[in-house]
Structure 1
Amino acid sequence: MIIGIDLGTTNSAVGVWREGKVELVPNSLGATLTPSAVGLDDDGALLVGLAARERRSTHPHLTATTFKRYMGTTRATKLGDKSYSPEELSALVLARLKADAEAYLGEPVREAVITVPAYFNDKQRKATRRAGELAGLKVERLLNEPTAAALAYGIHELADESRFLVFDLGGGTFDVSVLEIFEGVIEVRASTGDNRLGGEDFNKVLVDRMRAEHREALSADAPSEALATRLEAAAEKARRALTVGDRAEMAVTWKDQTYTLDVTAEAFEAAAAPLLAKLKEPVTRALRDGGLRPDDLKEIILVGGATRMPVVRRTVTRMFGRFPSTAVHPDEAVVIGAAIQAGLKSRDAALKDVVMTDVCPYSLGVDVAEHGPGGMLRTGIFSPVIERNTVVPASRSKIFSTMQNGQRKVLFGIYQGEARMVSENVRLGEVEISVPPARAGEISLECRFSYDINGLIEIDVLVPQTNERRQLVIVDEDDRDAPDLEARRAVLAALKVNPRDADANRAALARAQRCYEMFLGEVREHVGMLISQFEGVLDGQDPRQIDAARQQLLAALDELEGESFL
């Protein structure tokens, strides 16, 4: 059984293609969305999902969120006395999704299709694949999120030639892809985006306004992690309220004082104007790279939870002069597409054959030198071999020549990006090759790049005069050391993990403790009493009484702060 996984910045989900349709897998709480949050309980046990997210404001030093934004980097997050890389934290989320799928399906799960932002570079994709391996999964394919959304929309079933634009704004990343369908082929014409733009950035707009409104009380504690997480949680709640209403109140309790901020939809849109402006450039670039005009598109498909915001929908409507499609569930589209791709991978008879082509999201090339004015040699210049948005699999070559008399070696640095100077692009590796000594420019070198559907990059450098050849397959340094991967997997597997059947109780208790810190006076005392009552029932260990007490606790909390959200 191959499962499809949407590994999101804010929430993750898992689905499976079974009996001719997609089934979304519920977690231990019965929800199909699992917050991408990892934390430690007070006794050191691992928390993944809602229970971890609920403790973010009360135990920020023991909770990690939004780590997807740092995939492919060396950034470490400390939880307790241990540090975790972004891929290790992602692996813990993936392992929980794997366990949920196995509980739901009643059989072991070893293979998965995992989605990634279309604009993820090579290092970020490899880190995602490695996270899957650390979770005990064979990653059958990394599928671009907008392509997955297109599958969910059903364009794999359309017969007529059509063009679509997928506008995917999630919690932490933004992707734009232009897709074309013809004769059973789904072809990605162009992909672009911004890996540091999402709903979290719109939350920050509200956080900044709150700090400005209560400058003396809140800005003095700017370095406080506890205050920052409380502000972020309050901003998230206010932003969601503005999705369904014209006004929202943002409230934060800090040092036994409650601070509030009234926000109107109009004021929020004005404050978020710089972010809304940043949504336009990737759309323009995707259309330009795809050689299309807005009128050439049949529909604009909105995907990602952040596209629920009216300010975003109005911005998209203004861009194209028409309303976008909201036919697919913004939070479920990507995982549905991943599950469909998993079904295609397993060659399910209910899915007709469909050919999917994708594109290289970034240009790939080498560093070169050139003679500037006055003969001065300028180095570190990027020379693309495969241009961005080239349909993959692809193989392209370019001819280079020596720059100095008597030169005996040529060193090609391999880079990914769009900047003219390689120092501003992502370095992937290097290839060194010997050349016979000759006058500058007399020795030529053919440099060929090959890029496959899974993002594997191979470089082949040939010196025609000597038939000398050097080849390089780009792998991440961590991929070379299989024993190290096994050791890291063993360390993660050895973590003390709370049983799935305790998740609901821990999440409810974490939410109640957060509410206790958020409120003051009689309300705080009331919440404290609710916590004590629930803990007393937990001590009794009667499952039926615990279930009833948990429902009563959650209902009481809903009355105080409204329903909990994912």
Structure 2
Amino acid sequence: MIIGIDLGTTNSLAAVWRDGKAQLIPNALGSFLTPSCVGMDDDGTVLTGEAARARLQTHPHMTAAMFKRYMGSERETQLGARKFRPEELSSMVLRALKEDAEVWLGEKVEEAIITVPAYFSDAQRKATRVAGQLAGLRVERLLNEPTAAALAYGIQDTKRETKFLVFDLGGGTFDVSILELFEGVMEVRATAGDNFLGGEDFVTVLVDAFLSRSGMAKAMDGTELTGTQRQRLRAEAERAKRALSDSLTTRMAYQLGGQEYSWELTEDLFVLLCDHLVQRLRTPVERALRDATIKASELDTVVLAGGATRMPLVRKLAARMFGRFPSISLDPDQAIALGAAVQAGLMARDAALSEVVMTDVAPYSLGISVAREIGPNKYEGGHYLPIIERNSTVPVSRVENITTINDYQKELVVHVYQGESRRVSDNVFLGKLNFPIESKRAGEVSADVRFTYDISGVLEAEITVLPTQEKHTLVITENAGVMTQAEVAKRLAELSELKIHPRDKIENRTLVAQADRLYEQLLGHEREYLAQHIAAFTAVLNSQQPSAMRRAHETLTQVMRELGGSSFL
């Protein structure tokens, strides 16, 4: 069984192609959305999803979120006594999704299609594969997120010829892809994006604005918010951001040191504060249109994907840029996971998808470092020679010829990069290959450099020395910041020793975490009243009596609603 997984910055989802359609898979709490959060309980047990997110405010030093942004880097997060890489944290979310799928499907799940931002680098893609491996999944393919969203929309009408743009703004990344659908073929024409632009950045703008405009920063007089205080303020900013989706004004409020600070926020002011982020949304759109040689007026449809596209300012921007209202027929939170399930069906060769063909593109250019002549017999190194241009349809193979520039050099060194800058110093280094050559005068030894980039994002560089036809091959499988297979094996063994909270008990643990979060918001008698009910609920859990546990769960839930905690449930 192959499942599709949308591994998101804020939330993650799993889906499957079954009975001729894509179906979302609910988690242990009955929700399709699983927060991309990982935390340590007080006894060292690992919590994932909603239970972990509820502890972000109460135990920020024991909880991690937004780690997708650091995939492909060596950044580590301290949780309890252990440090975790982004791949490991992501693997715990993937493992939770895998377990949910196995329970719902009633069979073992060992293979998955995992979506990634279209503009994820080579290192970030490999780190995502490692995360899948650590979760016990064989990653059949990495699928670009806007391509997945396009599959979810396009599968509804594969007979009609159409050109459409996918505008995918998630919690942490922004992607745009332009696709053409004709005779059952869905062809990606171009893609572009920004890996550090998402809904979380709009929340950060609100946090900073509240601190300065509510008078709270002045009252703090240079002191910093604690981790718990900052998470509480981010939660209030997130609430305000969502409130503006339904009304033109909202009020942010925060208690600090017995003093309440408040700020009235309007939609127009929010747009003004976020203008620099909105301008960043335009750049990838313009690049994708230019690369696809398509005018905005030639698009038949604009599709929104990603939860952050619910913001009115984003929808209005899309309407202004393209001169039409965007399509929102699918839930933007679910479109990518549904598309991943369609791709899983294609991989499984499901009969219902027999007439659908999907093509994709390389999201960035791939090339080598060369020296260019800047004067008579004068050369300057560090210049970029693209071999595979961005938005080339994959799989793709291209070749360029290079020659020696120094007399009697005995070695040829080929440095491989990805990026779009003229100088390699501004691009991303992927690897190098050096090998001996015949010692001859400059220009008398040449070589063909062939790049082959497959649909899974693996690059192979093959150098053929002329005229000897001697071949040298470099497969880019490891990058700085990506774990080696030896490191993967070591981390896998370490992860197997961690205590993972049982799935069948996660509902109760989540409720306790949510109650703890509400407790921190209350004061006086209400706080004491809730504490008594939390203690009573915990005592019942220790008794392990199912009927008593169900009643206690219902009682605590009702108490939390009465105390104004419905937003926490």
TM-score range, shorter chain: over 0.9
Q: Is the 8 A contact 2:72 2:482 kept in 1?
A: no
| Residue number in structure 1 paired with 2:343 | 341
Q: Would you say the 8 A contact 1:148–1:337 is kept in 2?
A: yes
Q: CA deviation at 1:328?
A: 0.9
**Matching residue's letter, 1:541:** Q
Partner deviation per Cα, 1:438-480 (whole Å, 9 max, x = no partner): 3323322211100011111110111212222211111016989
1:22-41 mapped onto 2 (5 Å cutoff): 22-41=22-41
Shift of residue 91, structure 1, vs aligned partner? 0.5
Cα separation, 1, equivalents of 2:151 and 2:412: 45
Alpha-carbon distance in structure 1 between the residues aligned to 2:281 and 2:197: 9
Superposed displacement of residue 549, structure 1: 2.9
Counting only pairs closer than 5 Å after superposition, residues 505-520 of structure 1 correspond to structure 2 as: 505-520=508-523
Q: Would the alpha carbon gap of residues 456 and 36 (structure 1) be closer, same or farther in structure 2, given more than 3 Å must change?
A: same
Q: Name the amino acid aligned to 2:237.
A: A
Q: Is the 8 A contact 2:158 2:356 kept in 1?
A: no
The equivalent residue for 2:286 is 284
Provide closer, same or farther for how the CA distance between residues 311 and 364 of structure 1 changes in structure 2, counting only shifts above 3 A.
Answer: same
1:524 aligns to 2:523 (yes or no): no
What code does the residue aligned with 2:418 have?
Q
Report how far residue 60 of structure 1 moved: 0.7
Instruction: Name the counterpart of 2:277.
Output: 275
Match of 1:52 in 2: 52
Give the match for residue 362 of structure 2: 360
Question: 422-431 vs 294-303, which deviates more?
Answer: 422-431
Render the CA deviation track for 1:177-224: whole Å, top value 9, x for unaligned. Answer: 000111221110001000000000000011001221311345733363
Say which of 371, 374, 380 aligns to 1:372: 374
Contact 1:434 1:468 in 2 (8 A): no
Which residue of 2 is the match for residue 88 of structure 1? 88
**CA shift for structure 1 position 168:** 0.3
Task: Give 1:193's aligned residue.
Answer: 193
CA apart distance, 1:374: 7.3
1:469-480 correspondence runs (5 A)? 469-476=471-478
1:424 to 423, 426, 448: 426
Q: Which residue of 2 aligns with 1:132?
A: 132
Q: 1:163 is aligned with what amino acid? A: K
Distance 1:314 1:563, change over 3 A: farther
Alignment of 1:57-136 (within 5 A): 57-136=57-136
Q: After alignment, is 205-214 or 517-526 more displaced?
A: 517-526
Q: Distance in 2 between matches of 1:138 and 1:72?
A: 19
1:229: which partner in 2? 231
Q: TM-score, normalised by structure 2?
A: 0.95
Residues 57-92 of structure 1, C-alpha deviations (whole Å, 9 max, x = no match): 110110000000000011101101100000010001
Contact 1:221 1:227 in 2 (8 A): no
> In the alignment, which of 477, 484, 502 is matched to residue 499 of structure 1?
502
Q: Which structure 2 residues correspond to residues 171-250 of structure 1 after superposition, within 5 A?
A: 171-212=171-212, 213=214, 214-218=216-220, 220-222=222-224, 224-250=226-252
| Displacement of 1:346 | 1.1
User: Counterpart of 1:396?
Assistant: 398
Q: 1:485: how far off?
A: 2.4
**Cα distance, 1:265 vs structure 2:** 1.3
Shift of 1:113: 0.7
Q: What is the DSSP-based 3-state SS (H/G/I as helix, E as strand, rest coil) of the residue aligned with 1:350?
A: helix
| Higher mean C-alpha displacement, 416-425 vs 137-146 | 416-425
User: Whole-Å Cα distance in 2 between the matches of residues 375 and 249 of structure 1?
Assistant: 68
- Aligned-partner Cα distance in 1 for 2:536–2:267: 40
- Between the aligned partners of 1:140 and 1:161, the Cα distance in structure 2 is 29
Contact 2:164–2:180 (8 Å) recurs in 1: yes
1:301 CA displacement: 0.2
1:564 match: secondary structure: helix
User: Is the CA contact 2:58–2:520 (under 8 Å) kept in the aligned structure 1?
Assistant: yes
Cα 1:262–1:519 shift into 2, 3 Å: farther
Runs of 4+ in structure 1 deviating by more than 6 angstroms, as ranges, are none
* Aligned-pair CA distance for 1:495: 0.9
Deviates more, 1:341-350 or 1:55-64: 341-350
Paired residue type of 2:14: V
Deviation readout 1:364-422 (Å, 9 max, x if unpaired): 00011123357653222211100100111101111111121222212111001111221
SS at match of 1:109: coil
After the TM superposition, which residues 159-170 of structure 1 pair with which residues of structure 2 at under 5 Å, given as runs?
159-170=159-170
Q: Secondary structure at the match of 1:331?
A: coil
Aligned equivalents of 1:50, 1:471: Cα separation in 2: 46
Change (3 A) 1:536 1:481: closer
CA distance in 1, matches of 2:221, 2:78: 25
Structure 2 CA distance for partners of 1:525 and 1:209, relative to 1, 3 Å: farther
Cα distance per residue 1:482-529 (max 9 Å; x no partner):
454233222212210111122111111111111221233444334334
The one-character-per-residue Cα deviations of 1:2-22 (angstroms, maximum 9, x if unpaired) are 111110000001111112222
1:450 matched residue in structure 2: 452
**More deviation, 532-541/459-468:** 532-541
In the superposition, the TM-score normalised over structure 1's length comes to 0.96
Contact 2:74 2:482 in 1 (8 A): no
Structure 1 Cα separation of the partners of residues 316 and 328 of structure 2: 13
In terms of mean alpha carbon deviation, does 509-518 or 531-540 score higher?
A: 531-540
Q: Distance in 2 between matches of 1:526 and 1:246?
A: 36
Q: Supply the AA of the counterpart residue of 1:54.
A: A
Q: Report the number of matched residues.
A: 566
Structure 1 residue 98: Cα displacement: 0.6
CA contact (8 A) 2:518 2:568 kept: no
Deviation at 1:561, TM superposition (A): 4.4
Q: Secondary structure at the residue paired with 2:352?
A: coil
Q: 3-state SS of the aligned residue for 2:567?
A: coil
Output the CA distance in 2 between the equivalents of 1:565 and 1:24: 23
Consecutive unaligned residues of structure 1, counting only runs of 5 or more, are none
Provide the secondary structure at the position in 1 that maps to 2:500: coil
Question: Against the structure 1 CA distance between its residues 503 and 19, is the aligned structure 2 distance closer, same or farther, given a 3 Å change threshold?
Answer: same
Q: Aligned partners of 1:426 and 1:201: how far apart in 2?
A: 24
Check conservation: 1:368, 1:379, Cα contact below 8 A: yes
Query: What is the alpha-carbon distance in structure 2 between the residues aligned to residue 562 and residue 269 of structure 1?
Result: 29
Question: For 1:134 and 1:35, how far apart are their aligned partners in 2?
Answer: 19
Query: 1:549 and 1:244 mapped to 2: Cα distance?
Result: 35
Q: Aligned partners of 1:110 and 1:397: how far apart in 2?
A: 37
Q: Note the alpha carbon deviations across 1:233-267, whole angstroms, 9 max, x for none.
A: 22111111111122222233344444332211111
- The corresponding residue for 1:8 is 8
Alignment of 1:481-500 (within 5 A): 481-500=484-503
